Amino acid sequence: MNYKTPRLINETAKGYQLFTLEDSFFCERKIFLTSMIDADVSNELIKQLIYLNQTNPKEEITLYINSPGGEVTSGLAVYDCIRMMKAPVKTVCTGMAASMGSILFLAGDKREMLPHTKIMVHDPAFGSRDIGGMKPLEIQKEVDDLMNVRQILCEIIAERTGRTKEEVYEKTKIDSYFRAEEAVEFGLATAVITKI
């Protein structure tokens, strides 16, 4: 069974207007990342962020995240956009912020978690790309690129948490899960909240 997004009705001077729940949240400067991160999701998030930043560069934007991660390039595009905007951005973990989802969570000026949520950080993976038939130097280039991405992600985590790169590399060499309180202690989150 597919869950249908509720439609809302608002009475205005021009009569009744029908709008979506997403429209209502967007007007309140609340946006959501609830899927894998790919080019389409990245582009949509960037458009929403830029629009809200332009309409009021002083008012806070809240990005709610429940994502298993996704493409590094697409995720870093959103991360860069958030970090360059004038409008402050608060990120809220509403389920699990994993992999690239955790990097986007770290983009927030305030980083809040609901009590039973988790964050997962790890080194980037080679993904599903098939290296069969590649020549040794082609494989080496892929590995070099992956190690470069590993360094970029480590630097982001270290900068945003205040941890050393050595501490970050120790955590990211495997899938490391942090409950809300642990995430605050490590510096990934700034607070555990009990009200939205």
122 is catalytic: yes
Left, alpha or beta for 2 (phi > 0: left; psi -120 to 50: alpha)? beta
Q: Contact 96/120 with Cβ under 8 angstroms?
A: yes
The active-site residue out of 99, 102, 116, 128 is 99
116 is catalytic: no
The active-site residue out of 102, 122, 128, 176 is 122
- What string of DSSP letters covers 125-182? P-TT---TT--HHHHHHHHHHHHHHHHHHHHHHHHHH---HHHHHHHHTS-EEEEHHH
Q: Which residues pair with 97 in a beta bridge?
A: 67, 119
**Active site residues per annotation:** 99, 122
